[in-house]
Amino acid sequence: MKVIKAKDYADLSRKAANIISAQVIMNPKCVLGLATGSSPIGTYKQLIEWYNKDDVDFSGVTSVNLDEYVGLPEGHEQSYRSFMEETFFKHININPASTFLPDGNVEDLEKECARYDNLITDLGGIDIQILGLGHNGHIGFNEPDDAFEKMTNIVDLGETTIQANARFFASEEEVPKKAITMGIRAIMQAKKIILVVNGNDKYDILKKALTGAITPHVPASVLQLHADLTVIYCCDQEI
């Protein structure tokens, strides 16, 4: 595990973007595992800047996102599809047909979970996965539980997750209570993982995830077992 303390959020974002752009330059047909949330926004901004300078070309890249809410109407501005379009996809030359997110609007959600796992397998797995960290230790929407959820699955979002996400909705009641998320297996099978964590409010859970017991009660702790994990964090205290 490589743990890098960034000077500030801009530094964190540049460092993460550096790793991703190097991957795309070395393998223009790579599969990027992407995340939503506030943590990677600066990384996407930096990548867009380099794209605009012709330093990186996304035309051959495929992307698979970690998760999507269940039940938000198509095009809802808080859906993770909309977030990715607005924050990243529409600013770069990735082929829209090569951008994948789980579909939280299908009737048969179990079938959708299996389809998403098969899709990732068919793509040959994920070359590099970017992750944020939830206050409760979740990665993707794999919430604390008694067992690691291996496959893409439907989750009931925990109270802290709903509260944290309420800032994006008019009220807490509007936050969907379920989501569909890539499982731990696909995440752990990514050839490389970058975990980006910003803010002192994440310090305790980051420390627990990286140095505490490996337990499904802290889902991110499983990352200690990954062979190529880079953690880039920005907190006042050192891990």
Catalytic residue positions, numbered? 67, 136, 138, 143
Q: Tell me the C-alpha distance between 134 and 131, whole Å.
A: 10
H-helix segments, 158-228:
159-165, 184-189, 203-211
176 contacts ligand F6R (rule: CB under 6 A): no
C-alpha distances (whole Å) from 105 to each of 15, 80, 114, 175 are 35, 12, 15, 15
- 13, 21, 36, 63: residue in contact with ligand F6R (rule CB under 6 A): 36
38 contacts ligand F6R (rule: CB under 6 A): yes
- 33, 104, 132, 137: residue in contact with ligand F6R (rule CB under 6 A): 132
104 contacts ligand F6R (rule: CB under 6 A): no
67 contacts ligand F6R (rule: CB under 6 A): yes
183 contacts ligand F6R (rule: CB under 6 A): no
Residue least distant from ligand F6R (Cβ): 132
- 102, 104, 134, 137: residue in contact with ligand F6R (rule CB under 6 A): 134
Q: Tell me the C-alpha distance between 48 and 110, whole Å.
A: 35
163 contacts ligand F6R (rule: CB under 6 A): no
Closest CA to 112 of 153, 170, 74: 153
35 contacts ligand F6R (rule: CB under 6 A): yes
Minimum distance between the CB of residue 73 and ligand F6R, rounded to whole angstroms?
19
Of 45-53, 86-94, 118-126, 136-144, the window that binds ligand F6R (rule: CB under 6 A) is 136-144
42 contacts ligand F6R (rule: CB under 6 A): no
DSSP string, 110-169: HHHHHHHHHHHHHTT--SEEEE---TTS-BTTB-S-SS---S-EEEEPPHHHHHHHGGGS
137 contacts ligand F6R (rule: CB under 6 A): no
Site residues (vs ligand F6R, CB under 6 A): 35-39, 66-67, 132-134, 138-141
